[in-house]
Homo-oligomer: A and B are copies of this chain.
Amino acid sequence: MIILLVEDDPAQLRPLCIALSESGHLVDGVENSQDAQWLMSQKDYDLLILDWMLPVVSGVSLCQQYRAQGKIAPVLMLTAKDTTTDKVTGLDAGADDYLIKPVDIPELLARVRALGRRSPQWHGDLLRLGDLHLHLSTLTLERQQTSIRLSSREFHLMEYLMRRSGQVITRDNIEQTLWTWDTEPESNAVTALIWRLRQRLDELDAKSWLETVYGMGYRLTVPENIS
């Protein structure tokens, strides 16, 4: 998943970032709400993890702003204490889950998995779309007895597209989402990546699943003849 993590204490931020990355997610970890606001509005995340207490703009406000933008990705709040009033406030702001600080990493990962499961196509360790299966832990894509390994980039793109299958995804969108803001590509990296993914899909006779919408972007869909 593509995750935004906001936590003002670097000592806490770092290990969380590492843990999430190691579980196969793409994480943007930022320490202040200004950066968070910018990223929130620019990128298309699968999950937000917000510290409740943040200088300047609190996590609750961030969550409210995010929801005001009409975005629906789940939001997980990190609260210092377990008070009911906090919980209610957070719910009103549009949060989906809570975690008491200090954060227990395995529990965080469990919650993240649980929230990720809300994607309709999720089954166990894999994302499904038609008869395509994407195994999250092994980065393999399989269809009818054949399975192939994707590179990291290819995998993240595929996951991103699968979670949004049917929608048209802008090339800008992909660029902003798959590349961290400090490493944005300057040329046609996106085109090249799409091309590589297509070659992989071709190995599974699924090239037609990923179509170009000229002037708009790309779309991953299940062809008519597939269940």
Partner-B contacts on A (CB < 8 A): 22, 41, 65, 68-71, 104-107, 109-110, 113, 137-139, 149, 151-152, 167-168, 170, 172, 213-216, 219
Q: How far is the CA of A107 from the CA of B69 in the complex (A)?
A: 5
Q: How far is the CA of A216 from the CA of B106 in the complex (A)?
A: 19
The chain B residue with its CB closest to the CB of A138 is B168
13 more contacts with CB within 8 A, not counting A139-B216, A149-B213, A151-B214, are A22-B172, A41-B105, A41-B106, A65-B104, A69-B104, A69-B110, A138-B168, A138-B213, A138-B216, A139-B213, A149-B214, A151-B215, A152-B215
Using Cβ atoms and an 8 Å threshold, which residues of chain B touch A172? 22
Q: How far is the CA of A68 from the CA of B106 in the complex (A)?
A: 8
Contact of A107 among B68, B167, B170 (CB under 8 A): B68
Tell me, rounded to whole Å, the shortest Cβ–Cβ distance linking A149 to chain B.
7
Using Cβ atoms and an 8 Å threshold, which residues of chain B touch A71? 106
Tell me, rounded to whole Å, the shortest Cβ–Cβ distance linking A61 to chain B.
12
The quantity of this chain's copies bound in the complex is: 2
Identify whether the interface residues of A are mostly helix, strand, loop, or mixed.
Answer: mixed
Q: How far is the CA of A213 from the CA of B137 in the complex (A)?
A: 10
The answer to whether A138 touches B104, judged by C-beta atoms less than 8 angstroms apart, is: no
Using Cβ atoms and an 8 Å threshold, which residues of chain B touch A137? 167-168
Using Cβ atoms and an 8 Å threshold, which residues of chain B touch A105? 41
The chain B residue with its CB closest to the CB of A71 is B106
Could you list 15 examples of A-B contacts with CB < 8 Å? A41-B104, A65-B107, A68-B107, A69-B107, A70-B106, A70-B110, A71-B106, A137-B167, A137-B168, A138-B168, A138-B213, A138-B219, A139-B213, A149-B213, A151-B215
Q: How far is the CA of A111 from the CA of B41 in the complex (A)?
A: 15
User: Top 6 A-B pairs ranked by shortest CB distance?
Assistant: A69-B106, A70-B110, A41-B106, A68-B107, A138-B168, A152-B215
